[in-house]
């Protein structure tokens, strides 16, 4: 198969700086050379490609938009987004790993941590030495994280944490977990080393989706952490939701990458596949599908580009991020399915990427706020009338 070609119908490439183009091409090459040759094996085995952690860290992708003084790349939002787009062209599980490490673990330490916590953890997390996971969701509190039951109770200078967290990405390989818990003072965040007595990470088995990702249930039974495990500037549900803004932003970009992978594959296939004496790409119905897909990818690209500008200007509102996550992941999910269809019977084989992206995107559609929750967030912003309950 010849080199991947991204759809660029509206010449978005012209908007990129030389640095952004270089980073885009570097990550794209990394995905082509290091991720794609091994990803189907991991998908089949249900394992995360841990060999990619070192190279991903070396390329500066962990916490890439956090400041350089903590060992991070200090990139602007659009450049960070482009990285997520390219990674998810490889696999949603790989982008998830990077999102969780950067947006959901390093970001809260940066945003809510003390200077000591920042210096202790961020450089080691940027280098990939310390992997983190983010424990917000519980078996009975997913879309409604405010209903969480995990508690952290003060015991002298220490805290005792009890609870169960569900669906936690990077869960079994993490050295630290950012755990959100109810305290006398509302919801607070804690940096919890995962080797403490009473802490258990149990792999979630039987996944059809995001198989090349480490997903775990975390059980905390009387886990005792010192006072300085508390993220001192965290306070209320607002704090974890601020982390989600960061991750959802990257996911919106990531959806474009997954869609681009499927579109490129389907377009090549449609041009090469002959039925009734001509390429299937030369039929009106397939051209309609390709036109719809290309239009949706192009709209998603323009949405993300503007969102990146707003984010860099400090003006991106949570509901704008929700609109992008909602739109782009629905777009990617539909794209993967349509592309699978264009591949005919071959579309169900692991020689092609569409089916893997298609099943992965089921998770992406649901995590970081389900499609429906983002509908309600945007609906609330439009009407001023919350319809969650
Ligand atoms: P609500 O009363 O609306 O809000 C509580 C407080 O938070 C503020 N707030 C936000 N602040 C910053 N960013 C946001 N996006 C915010 N949304 C709300 C709000 O102003 C309020 O502040 P204050 O100061 O007045 O207290 O809260 P609610 O309980 O009604 O819930 C609202 C809702 C449904 C939107 C929210 O809970 C939600 O987003 N639910 C979805 C949960 C979710 O997305 N979970 C994701 C878990 S992590 C994950 O899936 C990782 S996947 C791996 C990967 O990323 O690859
Ligand atoms: P529920 O909240 O039970 O929702 C079930 C259905 O009801 C959904 O379709 C939902 O949209 C709908 N629904 C719920 N409330 C409403 C409403 N008010 N109006 C209309 N419809 C509604 N969480 C973490 O904390 N950390 C992680 O690292 C993490 N990684 C994940 C990785 C994977 C592979 C998956 C699948 C999930 C992960 N999650 C993680 C959890 C994820 O965020 C939750 O699954 C998600 O928020 C939905 O919660 P739930 O599964 O409990 O569904």
Domains and CATH numbers, the chain: 12-126 (1.10.540.10), 132-229 (2.40.110.10), 238-383 (1.20.140.10)
Question: Ligand 1: residues whose CB is within 6 Å?
Answer: 96, 99-100, 134, 136-137, 143, 145-146, 169, 236-238, 241-242, 244-245, 247, 318, 367-369, 373, 377, 388
CA 61 to centroid of chain Cα atoms: 13
Using CA atoms, how far apart are residues 129 and 204, in angstroms rounded to an integer?
24
**What's the average model confidence in pLDDT over 37-52?**
98
Q: What dihedral do alpha carbons 289, 291, 297, 300 form, nearest 10°?
A: -110
- The residues that are catalytic are 368
Quote the pLDDT of residue 95.
98
Strands (E), 89-228: 132-135, 151-155, 158-169, 176-183, 186-193, 199-203, 215-225
Quote the pLDDT of residue 62.
98
For residue 210, give the ligand 2 atom closest to its CA.
Answer: 34
Q: Mean pLDDT, the chain, as a whole number?
A: 98
Instruction: Give the Å distance between the CA of 159 and the centre of ligand 2.
Output: 28
Using CA atoms, how far apart are residues 137 and 153, in angstroms rounded to an integer?
19
Using CA atoms, how far apart are residues 98 and 104, in angstroms rounded to an integer?
9
Running DSSP on this structure, what letter comes out for residue 87? H
Using a pLDDT cut of 70, give the percent of the chain over it: 99
> Does 367 sit in the ligand 2 pocket, CB within 6 Å?
yes
Q: Give residue 115's pLDDT band: very low, low, confident or very high (50, 70, 90).
A: very high
**What's the average model confidence in pLDDT over 14-24?**
97
Q: Give residue 224's pLDDT band: very low, low, confident or very high (50, 70, 90).
A: very high
Tokens of 4: 């991947």
Are the C-beta atoms of 255 and 205 separated by less than 8 Å? Answer: no
Instruction: Give the Å distance between the CA of 128 and the centre of ligand 2.
Output: 28
**What's the average model confidence in pLDDT over 316-321?**
98
Instruction: Give the Å distance between the CA of 314 and the centre of ligand 1.
Output: 19
Are the C-beta atoms of 245 and 321 separated by less than 8 Å? Answer: yes
Q: What is the pTM of this model?
A: 0.98
**What's the average model confidence in pLDDT over 267-275?**
98
b/e map 11-25, b = 16+ CB within 10 Å: ebeeebeeebeebbe
């Amino acid at each position: 198969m010849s080199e991947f070609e991204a759809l660029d119908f509206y010449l978005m490439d012209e908007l990129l700086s030389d640095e952004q183009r270089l980073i885009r091409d570097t990550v794209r090459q990394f995905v082509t050379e290091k991720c794609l040759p091994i990803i189907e094996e991991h998908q089949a085995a249900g394992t995360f490609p841990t060999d990619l952690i070192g190279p991903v860290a070396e390329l500066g992708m962990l916490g890439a938009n956090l400041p350089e003084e903590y060992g991070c790349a200090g990139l602007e939002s659009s450049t960070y987004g482009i990285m997520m787009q390219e990674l998810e062209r490889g696999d949603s599980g790989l982008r998830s790993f990077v999102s969780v490490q950067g947006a959901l673990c390093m970001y809260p330490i940066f945003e809510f941590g003390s200077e000591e916590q920042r210096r202790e953890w961020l450089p080691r997390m940027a280098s990939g030495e310390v992997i983190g996971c983010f424990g917000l969701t519980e078996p009975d509190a997913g879309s409604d994280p405010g209903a969480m039951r995990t508690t952290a109770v003060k015991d002298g200078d220490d805290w005792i944490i009890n609870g169960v967290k569900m669906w936690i990405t990077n869960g079994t390989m993490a050295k630290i977990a950012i755990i959100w818990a109810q305290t006398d003072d509302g919801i607070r965040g804690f940096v919890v080393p995962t080797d403490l007595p009473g802490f258990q990470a149990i792999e979630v088995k039987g996944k059809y989706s995001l198989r090349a990702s480490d997903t775990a249930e975390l059980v905390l039974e009387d886990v005792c952490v010192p006072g300085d495990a508390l993220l001192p500037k965290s306070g209320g549900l607002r704090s974890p939701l601020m982390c989600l803004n960061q991750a959802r932003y990257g996911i919106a970009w990531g959806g474009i990458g997954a869609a681009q992978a499927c579109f490129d594959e389907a377009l090549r296939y449609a041009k090469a596949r002959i039925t009734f004496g001509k390429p299937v790409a030369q039929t009106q119905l397939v051209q309609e599908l390709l036109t719809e897909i290309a239009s949706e990818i192009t709209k998603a690209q323009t949405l993300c580009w503007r969102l990146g500008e707003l984010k860099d200007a400090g003006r991106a509102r949570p509901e704008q991020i929700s609109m992008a996550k909602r739109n782009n992941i629905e777009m990617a999910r539909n794209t993967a399915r349509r592309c699978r269809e264009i591949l005919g019977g071959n579309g169900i084989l692991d020689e092609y990427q569409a089916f893997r992206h298609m099943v992965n995107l089921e998770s992406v559609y649901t995590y970081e706020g389900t499609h429906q929750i983002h509908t309600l967030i945007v609906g609330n912003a439009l009407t001023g009338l919350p319809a969650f309950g």
